[in-house]
């Protein structure tokens, strides 16, 4: 705000005949951006400046959430609704058919739902990016002499924070309905970090969708088409050995199955841990390496 005021004052002074020759007009932000693009743009921005840009943009996004608390409704209410729905509507039937009880189903469900929370929160970022372009917010950012990647990275940082809030709410509700980590507190923290890592990789997929689709409704529709098979064709809600052979084969390569099995192994000390954790990390790193550069490139080119 202060830089804009100084520019306006300088321009006003330059309008007077005496000042026109003595004081050169200050360059506008658009001219700085054009000069930065001609001179290499992002290549001249150092790591320290890039981190400063990411911090400033992340703070802006966080302040937007503070001014619009309703944007946190999905992170706060979705874990509560889904937990109560599956525990008390389906828990008795699913637990009974599997030879267990509702309490045993709670132990199975809560770790599995952690990965689902990360995916559901990630879906919202695509819609937000699309709406920001429609409103002209992203065009304003691209007119500034800042790294293009810093805009998307800052968005991802804030969205990861929203994921962590959703996961914490999920665990609190889980403890209230009978979930118990049986002393595996370090495993619980490790599973939270692993879920956040996987969720961060999913953000780039939905950012890419938001940059590709023309409308926010299209982004939301495609996101649901992607989410539903991944969520229900996994070990998040039920064991996969009760599924048909072709569907069970799909669950074995579904990254959500690896995330859910990793969380169960770390938090409950049951089942294999090394394999699911390894595959979760492989999926997270692979998705990020593939989709993040594509999203940044699309961000630069999108009009």
Q: How is 220-280 classified by DSSP, letter by letter?
A: HHHHHHHHHHHHHSSSSSS-GGGS-HHHHHHHHH-HHHHHHHHHHHHHH--S--HHHHHHH
Please state whether the predicted TM-score (pTM) of the whole model is above 0.85. Answer: no
Q: How does DSSP classify residue 46?
A: -
Q: What is the pLDDT of residues 147-164, one digit of tens each?
A: 778 888 988 999 999 999
Residues in Cβ contact with 219 at an 8 Å cutoff, skipping those fewer than 6 apart: 126, 127, 130, 206, 209, 210, 213
Whether 83 and 175 have beta carbons less than 8 Å apart is answered as no
User: Distance between CA 283 and CA 303 in Å, rounded?
Assistant: 31
Q: What is the pLDDT of residues 158-200, one digit of tens each?
A: 999 999 999 999 999 999 999 999 889 999 999 999 999 999 9
């Amino acid at each position: 705000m202060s830089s804009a005021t100084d520019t306006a004052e300088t321009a006003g002074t330059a309008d007077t005949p005496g000042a026109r020759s003595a004081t050169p007009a200050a360059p506008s932000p658009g001219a700085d951006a054009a000069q930065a693009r001609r001179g290499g743009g992002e290549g001249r921005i150092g790591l320290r400046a890039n981190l400063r840009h990411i911090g400033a943009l992340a703070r802006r996004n966080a302040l937007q959430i503070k001014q619009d608390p309703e944007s946190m409704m999905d992170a706060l209410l979705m874990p509560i609704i889904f937990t109560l729905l599956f525990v008390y509507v389906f828990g008795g039937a699913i637990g009974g058919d599997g030879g267990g009880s509702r309490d045993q189903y709670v132990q199975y469900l809560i770790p599995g739902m952690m990965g689902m929370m990360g995916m559901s929160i990630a879906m919202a970022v695509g819609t937000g990016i699309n709406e920001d372009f429609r409103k002209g917010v992203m065009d304003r950012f691209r007119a500034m002499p800042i790294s293009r990647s810093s805009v998307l990275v800052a968005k991802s940082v804030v969205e990861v924070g929203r994921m962590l809030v959703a996961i914490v709410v999920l665990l609190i509700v889980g403890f209230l309905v009978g979930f118990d980590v049986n002393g595996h507190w370090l495993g619980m923290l490790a599973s939270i970090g692993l879920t956040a890592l996987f969720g961060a990789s999913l953000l780039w997929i939905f950012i890419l969708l938001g940059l590709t689709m023309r409308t926010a409704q299209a982004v939301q529709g495609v996101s649901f088409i992607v989410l539903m098979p991944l969520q229900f064709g996994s070990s998040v809600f039920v064991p996969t050995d009760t599924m048909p052979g072709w569907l069970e084969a799909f669950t074995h390569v579904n990254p959500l199955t690896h995330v859910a099995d990793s969380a169960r192994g770390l938090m409950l000390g049951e089942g294999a841990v090394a394999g699911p954790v390894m595959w979760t990390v492989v999926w997270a790193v692979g998705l990020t390496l593939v989709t993040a550069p594509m999203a940044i490139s699309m961000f630069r080119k999108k009009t």
